[in-house]
Every structure is written in structure tokens, then in C-alpha cells.
């Protein structure tokens, strides 16, 4: 399939999601022009705030391919990924992101991902969501164990 067809499928998924009670977002993961997996926004359908279209597509692709590493694949999404989805895309090692609407478009219809992007630029103590470092020395043991582990699967 060509890029245009893949993006049209992501857009179609976003429209179908709205019709079925989900959010207006769709995503397609492809490898060499062939669809590997698809996803649409299922946040309200599954009561899962992480069930964004991109995350759903990544979950579907990793299950289908049997790997957490989606190198060699690209994602086509109906909207610029939010910070959570962007992080998931990087962790999944997708090669490229194509998106249609941008985060300003999403903000205009009530999805203010741009707010989270702005929060990420702040020091933790300056963010609107309070956070505090707590029991760091106790938690360090797991990190030390990981660092010393010789048979770990790095990701």
C-alpha cells in the first residue's frame, strides 16, 4: 500500500471510532507498505486512559509479531501523538511517524495534549501535578540488581 492509502485507513479508523463511541483517533502500523496492525481510541469503551489509538496499534503489532521491537515499521496516525503515545512509539522503536491532524487541532476539540507537552518542559516541582521523591535509596536495589544482571534482555 502507498502512504496515502495507509493514512486514509488511519483516518477511516478514527471516523469509525467516533461512530462506535470511542475518541476520534486511529492508527495503522505498517512494514514495507503492508499493514501489520491497527488501533483506534478505546479510552471510554474500555475505561482505560492508556487505550489511545497509537498504543492500541502498538499492542496489537507486538502481539502479532511476537516482539517488543517494531524496528522496520512505521506508524500512520490520524493525529499528532500525545506525549504518552510519542513515548510508546520511541520505546517500540518505530522508524517513522506520519500524522494528519496536529496537537493544536486536537486542543480545539477539547483534547489538550499540548498542556502535557508544556508540563514536560517544567521541573517536576513546577508542574501542576504534585510529585515528590520518596524512598529513593530503598528503590535503588532493583536498579543495582538490573545493572549487575548479566543475562538481561535490554530494551
Average pLDDT of the segment spanning 110-131: 92
Average pLDDT of the segment spanning 65-74: 98
Which residues are annotated as catalytic? 54
Using alpha carbons, select from 78, 67, 107 the residue that is nearest to residue 11: 78
Residue 114 has pLDDT above 90, yes or no: no
In sequence order, the β-bridge partners of residue 38 are: 28
23-58 tens-digit pLDDT: 999 999 999 999 999 999 999 999 999 999 999 999
The Cβ of residue 4 has, within 10 Å, a number of other Cβ atoms equal to 9
Average pLDDT of the segment spanning 8-23: 97
Amino acid at each position: 500500500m502507498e502512504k496515502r492509502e495507509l493514512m486514509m485507513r488511519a483516518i477511516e479508523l478514527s471516523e469509525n471510532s467516533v461512530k462506535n463511541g470511542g475518541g476520534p483517533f486511529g492508527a495503522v502500523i505498517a512494514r514495507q507498505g503492508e499493514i501489520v496492525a491497527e488501533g483506534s481510541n478505546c479510552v471510554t469503551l474500555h475505561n482505560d486512559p492508556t487505550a489511545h489509538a497509537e498504543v492500541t496499534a502498538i499492542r496489537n503489532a507486538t502481539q502479532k509479531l511476537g516482539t517488543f521491537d517494531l524496528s522496520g515499521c512505521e506508524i500512520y496516525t490520524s493525529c499528532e501523538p500525545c506525549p504518552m503515545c510519542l513515548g510508546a512509539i520511541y520505546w517500540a522503536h518505530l522508524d517513522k511517524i506520519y500524522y494528519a491532524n496536529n496537537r493544536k487541532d486536537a486542543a480545539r476539540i477539547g483534547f489538550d495534549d499540548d498542556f502535557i507537552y508544556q508540563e514536560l518542559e517544567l521541573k517536576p516541582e513546577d508542574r501542576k501535578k504534585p510529585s515528590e521523591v520518596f524512598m529513593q535509596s530503598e528503590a535503588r536495589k532493583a536498579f543495582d540488581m538490573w545493572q549487575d544482571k548479566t543475562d538481561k534482555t535490554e530494551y
